[in-house]
Structure formats: structure tokens, C-alpha cells
Amino acid sequence: MRHKLFIDGQWCAPVNGGTFPVVNPATEEVIHHAPAGTAEDIDLAVAAARRAFDTGPWPRMSGRERAGYLRAMAEKILERKQELGHLEVIDNGKPLPEAVWDIEDTAGCFSFYAGLAEELDDNPEETIALSEPRFSSKVVREPIGVAGAIIPWNYPLLMASWKVAPALAAGCTMVLKPSELTPLTALELAAIAEEVGLPAGVLNVVTGLGPDAGQPLSEHPDVDKLAFTGSVPTGAKIMAAAARDIKNVSLELGGKSPFVVFADSDIDKAVEWIMFGIFWNQGQVCSATSRVLVEESLYPALLERLVAEATKIQIGDGLEDGTLLGPLVSRGQHDKVLAMIARGRREGATIAHGGKRPHGLDTGYFLEPTILTDMGEDNTVWREEIFGPVVCVKTFRDEADAIRMANDSRFGLAAAVMSRDKTRCERVARAFRAGIVWINCSQPTFTEAPWGGYKQSGIGRELGRWGLNNYLEVKQITSFESDEPWGWYM
């Protein structure tokens, strides 16, 4: 575990010398004191990224050369996947197999964007057909400049890769600020960048608290682009900070995603995907399908089966064999989720299962998988993101009712539908007001496909080609090709 920040290719102590504690959520032990970067460190990191962009080789080398570095990073990440997965578990709490899966996905993200960096060389410009034959026009794409990335704690290294890999592929330089709850693997990513010989200043990692390090990064006048993943309130602050200097900004925010289950669904498949949609990563997933809408006739049988299966989930330290549900990330998150459940009950919800600390797990931020029913559509637990293993289940009458209820939210990140009727699934998928829709499943995510939300769930898209475009400017070059005078003034 590292005690220094990574700025301009060097490991350096924070200017103010501060640290913040890193806690293992399964044991509540302080496992590390991470370097607490502040505005002074952000100034140094942005200056390094600025120099690397303005005068360094990175934006000037070919896409193929940049791809070589990205592929080397992917290889190093894969080589270290068990160790990096272990760090994610003691930092975030998730079960080890999930953490290792995340690390493999992270490596895959670097490889994918290596391929897109090469494609930039293969398609360096696009000719635009003009209505005026005396002119020609072409479009070239260029890196935006210095990018600032601020990320959350739920998928620490994977969320970093969704920003670092496309930014580097595009030729941008970056300052990365990971969450103060999970700073460990971002510093390892810096070590990997150093190991593969990434030029100094291309990737800088400053750990620290949101207001002390994140805010100065979002407000820094030399940052050209802000890429943020996190909560809606912080997203609003980032957008306000970006407004001052008209920075390009992309936001991946929260959700309260619906899962509509029609009565013709296979009950086993429905229950398994519902559980995957809300208990994976302890429900701390932006796209978690936390509102389950079940057609009335299927509801009693489905609820009974869901409760029966939820009771079988093995809860424990993410490092223990067989654990499927680890602790929540922090005491604050544990308290927040319990407070939400209590509020939901006061507003009329019933606990069908869970809702409390599991018996025998007195230390660690553990919570039983929780199933809430009987809530009204105005109940806080039905409307607001809980970000824990808590699913709300309600009935719907018919397709129109399901679509109305599903879309009645200020969020629009994801939505899922299950039915044996493929035509109906397609119809409902089109009717959802959400950026990501799953048919007959919930949560599988692919680096090749775009990711992002409607409404308050964000602005812009990550992953796929859309992720690369976040870091590219579009330059349009028009030439007057005629030998004739223009003939306006003369």
C-alpha cells in the first residue's frame, strides 16, 4: 500500500503532509493511512498534465504507439489480478470473485481502447460532402486536453479504467482523484503506468477527500474536461464548477432502476436475475434494479421464492470462500441504508426479509439482503437511491401501468423487463426512459456498448466509441478549392 501521490512521473508526499485512514469494512480495522492530497497537490498535478499535453510526446505520437502503452498496462493489470482483487476486497468489501472479475474487466477496458486508439490512425479524417462544389471540408478529431477524473468507491479500479483508458487512447493527459473510501488500487494503477514507462505527467493520481482534492480539481482553470461518476448532489457541484470556465463535462450519476416482470416469466430465472440485479456488489451499483414491478398474478409466488432464495445467500468477509454478500463499504453507508429502511417502514413499507445486521456478524458493516413490500409510490424507499442490498417489490396491473410506474422517477439510468413474449419485451424496452435496458436479464455490462443515463442519471455516455468521443474535439477544416475569385467585395 502506497504512501505517496503520483505526480509528473514521481512519487511525492502531499504538500501538507496529511493522511486519511482506510478502513477494511469487514473488520472495521484501519488498514492504511493514505496520502491526503489538497489544492496544492492538485495544482502540481494539473501543471504536470498541462505540460505533458502542451509540449510532451503523448498527444503527438500515433494512436498505435499509445495503444502499445495501453496494452502493456492491460497485461500488467491481468498479471496482478489476484493481488489487485485482494486490495479491492479489503478496501471496498466486495467478495473476492467479484473483485477479480472487476480487475479482468479493467484489463479488458484498456485493451479495448488500445484498439480504438489504433483506429484513430486508420481513420484520421472524414470527408464531408458539401452542397457547394467550390469548397471541400474534412473533419479531424483531436484530444480535448487535460482531463480531470473524479470517481466513486463501488468499483474502484474499474470506474477509473472507464475514464483513464479512453482519455489516454484519445491522447489526453489526466489527473485522477479516486474516492477517499477506496484509494488503494488507483495508486497501483499509477505504479503500473510507471512500470510501462508512460511519459511523465500523462497520468497523475491524487488521493484525498472530496472537498479538499476533488473540488479544486473540478474548479481548476487549466483542466479542459471533467469526467465524473458519483452521486447526483456532487454531480451538480461538478457541473456548477465546470460552468465557470465552460469546461466540457460528462456525468455518470445515480439511479433507481425498475425491473418489470410479466406473469409469463419463468419464476426461477426471474428470481435469479432479480437477485443479481440488487445483491451483486451489496447493491452498491448505480444501475441496480432496486424497484421490482411484478404482474399481479405472479406476485405471491415470486415473492415467496425470492424470500426463500435471499435467506440462502452466504454473508461474510469477502475473502472467505463462498461469500456472496460482503459488508457495505463504510459505517456511513451502513447507517444511511439502515436509516432509509427505517424511514421506509415509517412511511408504510413492510420488511418481507432482512432489514438488519445478520446474526453473529457483530463487527463489520454487514446487512442482510433486504426485501421491502407494501410501499406506496410516494414512499422514500421507492423513489430514492438506497445504494445497498435493498429491493422494493410492488405489483402492476397491465403493461401500460408497468411502463408508467417504471418511468415515474427523476432517474433514468437503467431498466429491465422479463417476459417470454419477445415482442412485448421489445415494446417495453423502447418505452423505458433509460439509457441502459436489459431484456430477460439485469446488469451484464460490456465495454463495447454505451453506458449512461437519461434525466438526473447523467450527461453523456461512457464505454464503446462514445467513451472515446468524450475525450476528442471535432475540428472541421474547410478549403476554398476554386481558382476563381470569391467575388463579394471585389
By the criterion CB under 6 A, which residues form the site for ligand NAD? 150-154, 159, 177, 179-180, 210-211, 214-215, 218, 229-231, 234, 237-238, 252-255, 286, 385, 387, 413, 453, 458
CA distances to 41, 48, 172, 197, 255 from 200, rounded to whole Å, are: 16, 8, 13, 8, 37
Q: How far is the CB of 149 from ligand NAD (least distance, A)?
A: 9
Strands 146-150 and 225-229: parallel
Note whether 176 and 213 are within 8 A (CB). no
Q: Which is nearer to ligand NAD, 190 or 238 (CB)?
A: 238
* Helices (H), ranges, 227-363: 232-244, 267-279, 299-310, 331-346
Q: Which is nearer to ligand NAD, 72 or 463 (CB)?
A: 463
Q: Which is nearer to ligand NAD, 235 or 316 (CB)?
A: 235
Q: How far is the CB of 215 from ligand NAD (least distance, A)?
A: 4
Q: Is 340 helix (H, G, I), strand (E, B) or coil?
A: helix
Taking the mean position of all CA atoms in its chain, how far away is CA 270? Answer: 25
Q: Which is nearer to ligand NAD, 56 or 230 (CB)?
A: 230
Residues belonging to the active site: 252, 286
Q: Which helix (H) or strand (E) holds 439?
A: strand 436-439
Q: How far is the CB of 252 from ligand NAD (least distance, A)?
A: 3
Q: How far is the CB of 19 from ligand NAD (least distance, A)?
A: 15
Give residues with Cβ within 8 angstroms of 38, minimum separation 6: 14, 15, 16, 18, 208, 212, 213, 216
State whether the Cα torsion 316-320-325-327 is positive or negative: positive
Q: How far is the CB of 188 from ligand NAD (least distance, A)?
A: 17
Q: How far is the CB of 387 from ligand NAD (least distance, A)?
A: 5
Taking the mean position of all CA atoms in its chain, how far away is CA 152? Answer: 7
Taking the mean position of all CA atoms in its chain, how far away is CA 80? Answer: 22
Beta-carbon neighbour count of residue 264 at 10 Å?
Answer: 13
Strands 10-12 and 19-24: unpaired
User: For residue 104, what is its C-alpha cell?
Assistant: 479482468
* Helices (H), ranges, 123-228: 156-170, 184-195, 215-219
Q: How far is the CB of 151 from ligand NAD (least distance, A)?
A: 6
Q: Which is nearer to ligand NAD, 32 or 177 (CB)?
A: 177
In whole angstroms, give the CA distance from residue 149 to residue 226: 6
Q: How far is the CB of 362 from ligand NAD (least distance, A)?
A: 25
> Phi and psi for 396 in degrees, rounded to 5?
-135, 155
Beta bridge partners of 32: 22
In whole angstroms, give the CA distance from residue 397 to residue 296: 6
